[in-house]
Structure 1
Amino acid sequence: MVIMIKLCRRGAPGLTMLVVLSMPGVATGAAWDITPTLRLRESYTDNMNLAPPDQARGQFITEVAPGVLVSTDGPRLQLTLAYTLQQVAYTRRPDRRNQQLDANGHAALLADWLFLDARAGISQQNVSAFGPQLIDPALSNRNSSTVRTQSISPYLRHYFRGLATAVLRYDYQHAASGGLLDVRSRAASLQLTGDNGGRGANWDLSLQRTQMDDAALAPVTLSNAALTLSYPLNSSVALFATAGYEKQDYHSASAQPQGRFGTLGGVWTPSPRTRVSASIGHRFFGQTYALDASYRLRSMFWTLSYNEDITTTHGEFFSVRPDALSDFLWDLWATRIPDPQLRLKTIQVFLAISQMLGKDGNVNFFSHRYYLQKQGQLSGVYSTARSALAVHLSRTDRSGQTTNAIDSVLLGPDQLSLTDHTRQTSLQIGWNWRMSARGGLNVGASHARARSLTTGREDRNSALTLSLTRQLSSRVSASADLRHVRHTSSAGGAYRENGVGASLIVSF
């Protein structure tokens, strides 16, 4: 607990409050699992700075990374926290220190009334989708930066029998990265969901107002009001319609960001294993489409999604990654890997192998602009008794809605039009083979393309990784890995990088 409080004092007020709430009273009856860890790693790269071949320099890297894993899953408090302090020593350059933090918590302060959600993170991120791309935090280039995120969201929720379920929420978010980004948002929302007893038509009313404070811009206010009506035609088909009004006062370079909007759609659920939701609508920027589909068998799971929305770099950092694939693997591997901690670690390694360039394969590049983002994703996993194969295909289009002049500090005056309209596509494949009860093989491959549709620049990034893992004892595991990375660009600066390493992880 002392470790958690020290971490929270270093920039995670949301987690600080959760730690306070986890004291006796809130955490009554909860079992805590606090596991200190130590990772030792020795590796070699033949291109430390991800530079062109004539400038590539090899280097040995030594890492010492103490950390802590904290979790509890009680009736009134759920918390998971993973923190690592990475001390990196190089043979030809000064030592460096990195931090990684991934923490999520939920607390029920007053049963059926008052709740609290909190998140915090520290990670190394690529600044631009163009140029060298960092996939190993031990390496270094000018296109990466440490991002710190934190959010805290207290809310009131209560069920009024025969009327509605009401949720009144306040949400504070902060994302910062040195002098490149510093964005805060404060949002208040009210959601009312009608109580129809599970029969006939139902309704949902949503009201939201958000204040965005970007250190590089004037404050922006975003307001939204929407009413949704739904009606089940039968046990497997339901229709819904949404009407509302939105107003966003950022200075748009095209359509005024406000006006009425509407959506028509339906949900088809022919079985508990299959679900398809689709809609078509209209907003101030034009016609919109959305799709969310999933299909599940005993050993296979697929998801397909498409959405269109106005977004920002800050907003994408706080978007919640779907966890359907990890939930599927958690249930599927319950008998194969009965140890919960080992199973969770295996799933995390497996998904990390197949998703090396970001949560969806594409780069959430730094910008102070507002974008119209159109994103489609296809994800699937197929598992047998001893192996699993995951595939992820993604395409993301972004069109700038505000002037590019506000990104002059990030891009430079001669590159301002680079991100006016971008298209990123990526394909990621991961394969896991459980060779024995204690050992496994992971293979990952990815290929991503980033294209500026305004300037014509195109960058391609490919990566191939292979790792062997071995559980030496209940508290000690070892791994060895190989990596090959290629980068090409129509603007020059192509490079290759090869790496090899070995790690030892001890849990205390």
Structure 2
Amino acid sequence: MAVAVMAMATVMALKTRPAELMPSRYFHERNLSPRPRALALAAACLLCAGSAWAQDGSSQVGAAGPTATGRPSVLVEPRFGVMQTWTDNNRLTRTGKDAALLTTLTPGVSISTTRGAVRGSLDYSLNGIVYTKSDEKARIQHSLSAKGVAELIDRLFFVDANASISQQAASAFGVQSVDPSLANSNRRETATVSLAPRLQGHIGSVANFELRANTSATNVSDAVIGDSHANGASLRVSRAGRAALTWSVDASTQKSSFKTGAQNRVSSLTGSLSYKPDIDWQLGVLAGRERSDLKDFVLRNSSTYGANLSWTPSLRTKLSADFQSHEYGDSFSYNLEHRWSRSALRFSDSQSVNAANFQNAGAPRSNYDLYFFQFASLVPDPAQRDVFVRNFLRTQGLSADALASSAVVDTGPTVLRTQLLSYSLQGVRTTVTTTASRSNNRRLASASSSSGDFAANGRVLQRSLSLNVSHNLTPTSSAVLSVIQQDSEGDSAAQSTTLRSISASWNCRLGARVNFTLGARAAHSGGLISYRENAMFANLVQQF
């Protein structure tokens, strides 16, 4: 019953119209719309409703109630936060600084399901921001991270769902900031939702099959640049059973469309062979044909081929390499991962086409990703690990997104190369997370068919360095130091931005479920638009 109530509360928060929460004049003047929240609603509803169903139907599916380890299989953790921020430069300008006091009210909820017909996790926050001693109007921001799988027919029919709402930079060369609550006109609330039903089974004792459809949509608030949707389908037939030498045949088609005009299609038919001489090694090759228009919007047939290698000497170490040749640009992925008992190291160098949902998953890019990887041995179940990592970061006073590089709204097909080195260390009293990343985004289409940054640039190069150090002063308090530097470059030296920020905070647990943070930061931005900003902040979060 409690899960059902929280599910309804989350859905109502997502569906609430801005005019019901803030003065209507503000939204009329800015012509805002609730579309980003509506896009993510489907996946959020799926997980919330599935959680309620799993608990209500525990007698049939055994999903609710405590597991054999004593942990509940459906875990709901509502919370409420109040944050006060004083800044001397709310509008992030060089002159005419707007000193202001920001009050942020943040109701939120985390839901995870570990067993039953629906499994996954959801974390949602609604941020209501009020500006005092400033002409800036009050606003609402949403933050959502949801992923789950619903097993609608036992071992046969599944639906995978993902949804997110986050703040992204509209331009790599616009104003950059570390605090999304500041009045930054270069910030866009970006919502993405994807659904992928799949049917899997066996063809006698000879082969396995998986038939999958997918649809996804991205919506950017206050703009059409970045709005996109994609649809596709794929079929894989592979050899059944275990053997040293296996085969598979893959057929897929995908269509992506950006609202600014770019539409692309990719269809392929490939065959692959995989050889596993022992438990540690796996080798593979593939070859096939493709038909695509990613390069110049003219459909062309071409050949594709590739090879891959994976070496896993232990559960803590993995080395992998994958290369594929395509007419529109080669793709590759080289990864090295290693976990120690209290630390983790990961390096990746990857290149892939980035067009709507063609992009591949990357290496860890945030505190959350790093510790989700590090705690894989400690908490094997993904849903339980999600809750564990979020609680760990909250008690350490670390932001889940602190290491994320300056993400920019996608505006068309590009070839994206990303290199990332990340390391995390959890000592007896000190926790350290550090990352260095470099991304080179190269335009595929002509400038006339591109928009945003790629209308005037053939490439956008971004580099990021970050360091977070958390030290436990007492069993219930810690000090945190965060340092971030981000750089962006275009085709010319004049098109560049630099952001440097340093912050220090004190985090304390006032009770079993109450956290308090007090801190200060200094930021400096250079390049096309430069500014300096200093701030102090206090945050109180009550978990229920």
* TM-score of the two chains, using structure 1 as the length reference: 0.87
1:384 aligns with 2:422: no
Instruction: Choose which of 82, 98, 118 in structure 2 pairs with 1:57.
Output: 98
Structure-2 residue corresponding to 1:417: 456
Distance in 1, Cα, partners of 2:401 & 2:43: 28
1:36 aligns with 2:78: yes
Instruction: Choose which of 151, 157, 164 in structure 2 pairs with 1:108.
Output: 151
Give yes or no for contact 2:434–2:466 (8 Å, CA) kept in 1: yes
1:443 aligns with 2:481: yes
Give the direction of change, closer, same or farther, for the CA distance of 1:75–1:161 in structure 2 (3 Å limit): farther
Instruction: Choose which of 498, 501, 504 in structure 1 pairs with 2:537.
Output: 501
Give yes or no for contact 1:99–1:123 (8 Å, CA) kept in 2: yes
Amino acid at match of 1:16: C
How far did residue 55 of structure 1 move?
2.6
Q: Residues 242-391 of structure 1: matches in 2 within 5 Å?
A: 242-250=286-294, 252=296, 258-285=301-328, 288-312=331-355, 319=361, 322=364, 323=369, 325-329=371-375, 331=377, 344-347=390-393, 353=399, 355-356=401-402, 358=404, 361-363=405-407, 365-391=408-434
Instruction: Choose which of 170, 187, 202 in structure 1 pairs with 2:232.
Output: 187
How far did residue 227 of structure 1 move?
2.0
Distance in 2, Cα, partners of 1:16 & 1:355: 24
Give the direction of change, closer, same or farther, for the CA distance of 1:270–1:174 in structure 2 (3 Å limit): same
- What residue ranges of structure 2 are gaps of 5+ in the alignment? 16-36, 65-72
Instruction: Choose which of 255, 258, 267 in structure 2 pairs with 1:211.
Output: 255
Amino acid at match of 2:119: Q
Distance in 1, Cα, partners of 2:300 & 2:475: 56
Instruction: Choose which of 185, 190, 193 in structure 2 pairs with 1:150.
Output: 193
Helix, strand or coil for the counterpart of 1:55? coil
How many residue pairs get matched?
491
Q: Deviations over 1:149-206 (max 9, x none)?
A: 1111211122557433322111111110132332111111112332342x32112322
How far did residue 208 of structure 1 move?
1.4
- What residue ranges of structure 1 are gaps of 5+ in the alignment? none
Give the direction of change, closer, same or farther, for the CA distance of 1:257–1:329 in structure 2 (3 Å limit): farther
Helix, strand or coil for the counterpart of 1:284? coil
Give yes or no for contact 2:348–2:363 (8 Å, CA) kept in 1: no
Give the direction of change, closer, same or farther, for the CA distance of 1:21–1:384 in structure 2 (3 Å limit): closer
Amino acid at match of 1:326: F
Structure-2 residue corresponding to 1:45: 87
**Percent identity of equivalent pairs:** 21
Helix, strand or coil for the counterpart of 1:129? coil
Helix, strand or coil for the counterpart of 1:391? strand
Structure-1 residue corresponding to 2:270: 226
Structure-2 residue corresponding to 1:16: 45
Distance in 2, Cα, partners of 1:324 & 1:305: 13
Instruction: Choose which of 200, 203, 206 in structure 1 pairs with 2:244.
Output: 200
Distance in 2, Cα, partners of 1:206 & 1:305: 26
Structure-2 residue corresponding to 1:240: 284
- Which stretch shows the higher mean deviation, 240-249 or 277-286? 277-286
Give yes or no for contact 1:152–1:171 (8 Å, CA) kept in 2: yes
Amino acid at match of 1:423: L
Q: Deviations over 1:211-244 (max 9, x none)?
A: 2232221643221222221113444333211212
Distance in 2, Cα, partners of 1:439 & 1:50: 32
1:6 aligns with 2:12: yes
1:394 aligns with 2:437: yes
Cα RMSD after superposing both structures: 3.0
